[in-house]
Structure 1
């Protein structure tokens, strides 16, 4: 596979950036509730993107993220006020990179690297800029450009059109099992970054690779 790959494509949330690094700020605002709020927030964020796609009621990922946060705060009996919501949404532009990311990206040679995310550009581009990693990527691809969330085939086709390669020439990497399943179904080579040590999704679409982090990618980028 390695010799056929021409584009290395990364999901963003949970793959490059730790979405649960939000817990620290959540704990400052809502003492003792940061972990619960973060976990429910992420769960509902994904669910709401799926539901809006299925219902044909698209909203940007920023709106989905805000709605999911309001649900999480309500579920955990916390006050929903504009100041707290704004502070937590703004923190989504300053998530922590996973510790190996910079080391992996700096091994990049002349390979084409891209990010492909459900994040809308008003969230995605500031996040990459604040982490000072945007210069590593040849393409920053957002589903918001076509209003079609992953894991729809149309979303992966949108990414492919940006890249300009064949499906089998793309390695797509994500920590989200549902995203890997969608990419595999579309025809991309896949590497599941199984940070949570979860079982493979039982959808008869197994990833081509399963890694605990992005570290194994270094070997491919330096070959």
Structure 2
């Protein structure tokens, strides 16, 4: 655990974002790309972007609808943007989203962290049942000490109230947790809260949020161990 020992000495809990970090958010569309046609990649990008946008807008004006509902609404919008795509594919896409592919290194990395004496958890915007389905499908439940959903507090990340689910669950101060996310906005929110935030930059994207820097940047989760 050289990276964590160096970047986050004394931390005892490693917390992961779920969608985009442990689970590939584009896997649902990829499974049905042939039926969708040439707009498959663009549709997937719009679906994801709107899913996140809706969570931010709701939080800003003080409302909440669970993430599964937002996922459905975002897909409706994406399909409306690409009328060439048969809307009959919607149910298949939603079914696939509940059992997204985990990135290939996920089970081994979680197991290694646990073997190293660290507690592990998920903190996600995801609704409880969709998280349960994804964790079960990936077979990683045995490697997790907690699966935390913002449903409990009814506000999405990057609200400090959402991140406080971790400190309350484990009885720790923010600096005692490492927070791992592929979403740079989530890393910024976690760093602002006081977590030791690690950015998983799979796409080699340029950095942003210069005022809220991660303690480390890795290309995939293998960089943690």
TM-score class, shorter-chain normalisation, is over 0.9
Q: Deviations over 1:133-152 (max 9, x none)?
A: 01110011000111110001
The structure showing larger relative contact order (alpha-carbon pairs under 8 Å, at least 6 residues apart) is 2
Task: Give structure 1 regions of 4+ aligned residues with deviation exceeding 6 angstroms.
Answer: none
1:100 corresponding residue in structure 2:
105
Q: Give distance in 1, aligned partners of 2:143 and 2:167.
A: 19
Uncovered stretches (5+) of structure 2, i.e. residues with no partner: 1-6
Show the 5 A alignment for 1:128-207: 128-207=135-214
- Secondary structure of the equivalent of 1:215? helix
* Runs (5+) with no aligned partner, structure 1: 219-223
The reply to whether residue 18 of structure 1 matches residue 24 of structure 2 is yes
Select between 48-57 and 165-174 the one with higher mean Cα deviation.
48-57
Q: Deviations over 1:118-171 (max 9, x none)?
A: 000121111101111011100110001111100011111122111211111000
Q: How many residues align?
A: 217
Verify the 8 A CA contact 2:68 2:130 in the aligned structure 1: yes
CA distance in 2, matches of 1:91, 1:66: 12
TM-score (norm 2): 0.91
Matched, 1:62 2:84: no
Measure the CA separation in 2 of the matches of 1:53 and 1:80: 32
Q: Distance in 1 between matches of 2:99 and 2:34?
A: 16
* TM-fit CA distance, 1:36: 1.2
- Return closer, same or farther for 1:95/1:48 CA change in 2, 3 Å cut-off: same
- CA distance in structure 2 between the aligned counterparts of 1:210 and 1:91, rounded to whole angstroms: 30
How far residue 200 of structure 1 moved from its aligned partner, in angstroms, is 1.6
Give me the TM-score of the superposition, normalised by structure 1.
Answer: 0.92
Residue 8 of structure 1, CA deviation: 0.4
Shift, 1:72, TM fit: 0.6
2:50 to 37, 44, 57: 44
